[in-house]
């Protein structure tokens, strides 16, 4: 077994990577950075010691296994308290102080060239909300579309929207870990594929062979829908009488199908 993480020196990390790709290291215990860019076809086993912050990350990471088309096993060790730890890791972003600093300098002195990560994130946020824009010379300039206080207010609103989406993504990770039905169905429908299951291969299906498939639904998986409260979104999956919709601006929301039908909570989108 070999190790790969930020506390290991660069030479040791290169050696661990070479040993893994060459086959002399059968097991690597590593942080997620190790898997990025690794394309080894015969990985037979991927173990997560705790829950990633989203199903997007989890799917990418477990996808390192079985790239040669042969059978591979993925396993997630999960405790409910892990979600709290993952929530802490996702509670990041650009600080209001950094945005205020960059906005003030942009509005007063013209183009800005940040020298820190926080400054770069603040600059990107100001571009996102329309207070700044890339100019023809490749630098970011103040647009004049709003003053600094309005830009800060827009930045706060955008930050809250991003946190709302991240919280909903983490909630979907929790739901997957605690799901009692077909896990393949859960994963594929999360990405918009209509796969009712059962797959017969996941832990839940092995415990309950011949599980019933989903019945009629008001909107097919992958359909675009609209809500008066959350705007437009895409139907992701059904769990019994519950439908999950990924709304463009607000992340994932779970709705009761009977109420959706009875009260017309969703309608066909664009």
At 27, give phi and psi (nearest 5°). -130, 135
Residue length of the chain: 270
Same domain, 238 and 263: yes
SS3 3: strand
- Dist. CA 14–CA 4, nearest whole Å: 9
SS3 70: coil
Global pTM value: 0.69
At 128, give phi and psi (nearest 5°). -60, -40
Does residue 169 sit within a domain?
A: no
Query: What's the total number of domains in the chain?
Result: 4
Task: Tell me the pLDDT tens digit for each residue of 41-92.
Answer: 999 999 998 888 889 989 988 888 898 989 999 999 988 877 766 665 555 5
Domain ranges, residue 83: 2-90
Same domain, 112 and 139: yes
Does residue 246 sit within a domain?
A: yes
Task: Tell me the pLDDT tens digit for each residue of 164-218.
Answer: 888 888 888 998 998 888 899 889 888 878 787 788 889 988 887 654 455 578 8
Does residue 141 sit within a domain?
A: yes
The pLDDT, as a whole number, for residue 212 is 46
Same domain, 81 and 19: yes
- Dist. CA 228–CA 248, nearest whole Å: 13
Q: What is the CATH number of the domain that holds 226?
A: 2.30.30.140
Percent of the chain with pLDDT over 70: 90
Query: Which of 53, 73, 55, 76 lies closest to 64 in space, CA to CA?
Result: 73
In which residue are the tokens 């990560």 written?
117
Does residue 172 sit within a domain?
A: no
Does residue 263 sit within a domain?
A: yes
**Structure tokens that stand for 2 in this block:** 């070999």
Task: Please state the rounded mean pLDDT for residues 149-173.
Answer: 90
Same domain, 252 and 221: yes
In which residue are the tokens 């993504």 written?
169
The pLDDT, as a whole number, for residue 100 is 92
Same domain, 39 and 109: no
The pLDDT, as a whole number, for residue 113 is 66
Q: Which helix (H) or strand (E) holds 235?
A: strand 231-239
């Amino acid at each position: 077994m070999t190790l790969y993480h930020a506390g290991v020196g660069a030479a040791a990390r290169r050696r661990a990577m070479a040993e893994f790709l060459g086959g002399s290291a059968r097991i690597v215990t590593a942080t997620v950075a190790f898997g990025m860019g690794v394309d080894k076809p015969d990985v037979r086993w991927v173990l997560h010691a705790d829950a990633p912050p989203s199903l997007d990350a989890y799917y990418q990471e477990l996808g390192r296994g079985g790239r040669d088309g042969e059978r591979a096993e993925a396993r997630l060790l999960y405790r409910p308290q892990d979600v709290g730890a993952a929530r802490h890791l996702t509670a990041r972003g650009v600080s209001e102080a950094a945005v205020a600093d960059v906005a003030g300098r942009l509005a007063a002195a013209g183009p800005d060239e940040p020298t820190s990560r926080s400054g770069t994130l603040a600059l990107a946020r100001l571009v996102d909300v329309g207070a700044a824009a890339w100019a023809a010379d490749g630098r970011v300039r103040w647009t004049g579309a709003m003053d600094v206080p309005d830009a800060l207010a827009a930045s706060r609103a955008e930050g809250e929207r991003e946190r709302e989406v991240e919280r909903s993504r983490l909630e979907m990770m929790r739901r997957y870990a605690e799901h009692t039905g077909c896990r393949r169905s859960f994963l594929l429908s999360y990405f918009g594929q209509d796969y009712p299951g059962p797959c017969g291969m996941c832990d839940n299906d092995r415990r309950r062979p011949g599980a019933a498939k989903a019945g009629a639904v008001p909107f097919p998986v992958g359909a675009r829908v609209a809500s008066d409260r959350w705007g437009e979104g895409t139907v992701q999956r059904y769990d019994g009488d519950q439908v999950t919709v990924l709304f463009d601006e607000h992340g994932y929301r779970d709705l009761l199908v009977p109420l959706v039908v009875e009260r017309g909570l969703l309608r066909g989108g664009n």
